[in-house]
Each structure stands twice: as structure tokens, then as C-alpha cells.
Amino acid sequence: MANRFLNSFPLKPVYFLSELIGHWPQIESPEEVCAAYYQFKKDLEHSNETRK
């Protein structure tokens, strides 16, 4: 599903998690979810800085 999103919106960032994670990523792999979230937040802050 993430690949389809990536193909539909190629300029938007997509953060992939392990293929072993199912419907409850925050329970199955909280460390990976947190890492992806912090990367998203960092990328968003960088994106906002370049717009100024």
C-alpha cells in the first residue's frame, strides 16, 4: 500500500516500516514507529525552514 501511495504522490515523503509489522505498528514495533516519527518531524522542520 505504501508503494501505491508513493507512486500516486511521488513528491511526498513516505516512511517505510518493516514488512513484518502488521495492523498495529505502535504495539508491534514501537521503537521503529518512534524512529519514523522523529525522522518525519525532522524532515518537516527542515522543509519549513527552506520555505522561509
Q: What's the CA gap between 13 and 43, in Å, rounded? A: 9
In a domain, 10, yes or no: no
In a domain, 25, yes or no: yes
In a domain, 23, yes or no: yes
How many domains are contained in the chain?
1
In a domain, 22, yes or no: yes
In a domain, 7, yes or no: no
Could you read off the pLDDT of 3-44 as tens digits, one per residue? Answer: 888 888 888 888 999 999 999 999 999 999 999 999 999 999
In a domain, 9, yes or no: no
Nearest Cα residue to 32 out of 15, 14, 44, 12: 15
In a domain, 2, yes or no: no
Could you read off the pLDDT of 6-16 as tens digits, one per residue? Answer: 888 888 888 99
pTM beyond 0.85, yes or no: no
